[in-house]
Amino acid sequence: MKTFKSKVLFLTGAAHGFGHVIALEAAKRGMKLVLVDIDEPALHQTQQEVERLGAENLAIPADVTKESSVNEAIDQAMAAFKRIDLLINDAGIALPGRIWELPTRDWEWILHVNTMSQVYTMKRIIPIMMKQKTHGAILNVASIAGLLDTPGMPSYHASKFASVGLSEATAYDLQRAGADIEMHVMCPGFVQTDLYHTEEHRPKQYSDPEDPYYHSEAFLKGQQFAKAVITNGMPIDTIAATVFKALEDNEFYILTHPEYNPLISDRVHRIVNHGAPDVHVMDGLM
């Protein structure tokens, strides 16, 4: 996608982190914005910021774990702007915890936010883009955790590996269908976002305050780990420029931390050489 002025962006996870800075950059580039997030107060703060930049916009509070909520947001976007040119699936959460400790409801929550929300939006918006017969683009925010594996966060890795695979397979399908739609997948390392505040955005359907897990040492340590790695991550101020440069250059894989490239190469080497995960090797590499 070479030009952005007057194009319509449908952006999930727009209230915080990557979504927030992407919204501001899109506004500066003259885009029309559909801002979607579950955190209504923060969403309206983002809306006020893009309005100060002169962007025409629509803010839609929505729970992307529900297909009906996603469909309603897309219907509102089409009613307001009649088209969608760029879809950025940024909504995401992080839930540390080993598989034998993490409650099933947390697996369902993270897979619905990090993976199924991308399915819901693409299922509806790809036919819209095809019908428009104009150039379109889709960017799924995954993670470096979708390209390499580490201990302690199997649910996060599962959701992000799924996002990467979903993006790759959809790119093939779009090419085979002759669709004028670019696919992109972003795989950042640790960045200073608010991702460690995931618990503040937990919907009621995935909540059970009486479950002893949420009062356990394992849960508390997981929360402390998430906060430590995110607050010590890369500053967020370069992310929006990275995203739009990748869109302009039609880069499929958008990586932000080249220092992780040896770890990605090591994983591929293990796969093709009949290796296996070895926590001692991983600890040494990290």
**Domains: count for the chain:** 1
Residue 268 belongs to a domain: no
Residue 269 belongs to a domain: no
Which pLDDT belongs to residue 286? 58
Q: Which amino acid is at 69?
A: S
Residue 265 belongs to a domain: no
- Rg of the Cα trace of the chain? 19
Question: What CATH number does residue 116 fall under?
Answer: 3.40.50.720
Residue 270 belongs to a domain: no
Residue 177 belongs to a domain: yes
Which pLDDT belongs to residue 264? 94
Q: Which amino acid is at 3?
A: T
Which pLDDT belongs to residue 278? 85
Query: Which structural domain range is residue 167 located in?
Result: 8-259
Which pLDDT belongs to residue 194? 87
Which pLDDT belongs to residue 284? 61
Q: Kindly report, residue by residue over 7-39, the tens digit of the pLDDT.
A: 999 999 999 999 999 999 999 999 999 999 999
| Intervals of the chain under pLDDT 70 | 282-286
Q: Is 196 a catalytic residue?
A: no
CA distances from 207 to 7, 29, 56, 194, 261 (A): 38, 39, 36, 20, 37
Residue 71 belongs to a domain: yes
Residue 175 belongs to a domain: yes
Phi first, then psi: give them for residue 47, nearest 5 degrees: -60, -45
Among residues 156, 206, 214, 253, the one annotated as catalytic is 156
Residue 276 belongs to a domain: no
